[in-house]
Homo-oligomer: A and B are copies of this chain.
Amino acid sequence: MARFKGQAEYSVDAKGRVAIPAKMRSALNPDAQGTFTLTKGFEKCIYAYPQDQWKIKEDEFSSLNLNNRNARHLVRMILMWAEEVSLDGQGRISLPKSLSDYAGIGEKALIIGAMDRIEIWDQAAFEDYLNEQTIDQESLAEQVMGS
């Protein structure tokens, strides 16, 4: 499994393209064939799953009980925003308008590696997100990971 980490601030050009950092590209599983599935993040950002990881997600969805109304809704919401994109010769992807609007992405994007996915944030939106977090990292670590 590809494990992404690190951050980078890259510019979004007039055509809506962003480069994926070389370090993350090299962490990609060859199976992913330079293809990502983009979708809405839970926070105000875009999630980019490499193709091989997305397959696993899809399997999870199909294993849900779709007789349950909430499950149906969740899957619908996730899939309706999902879009497949590929790296161009320069290692960039182009962001679909609907998603970049949702994340409020302007001229500068923040690319963050987060384990099995890459997150794409607008720089200012990410700062807002940080300011919203009231709990400090030390207490959080204690709470989430145990003592």
A residues near B, CB below 8 A?
3-7, 23, 37, 42-43, 58, 60-62, 64, 66, 68-77, 79-84, 98, 112-116, 119, 133, 135, 137-138, 140-141, 143-145
Contacts and interface: CB of A to CB of B under 8 A. Distances in A.
Contacts of A75: 114-115
Nearest to A45: B76
Nearest to A138: B42
B137 A61 contact: no
Protomer copies? 2
Nearest to A135: B70
B7 A98 contact: yes
A143 B83 contact: no
Contacts of A137: 42, 74, 77
Given A7-B81, A58-B3, A76 B140 contact: no
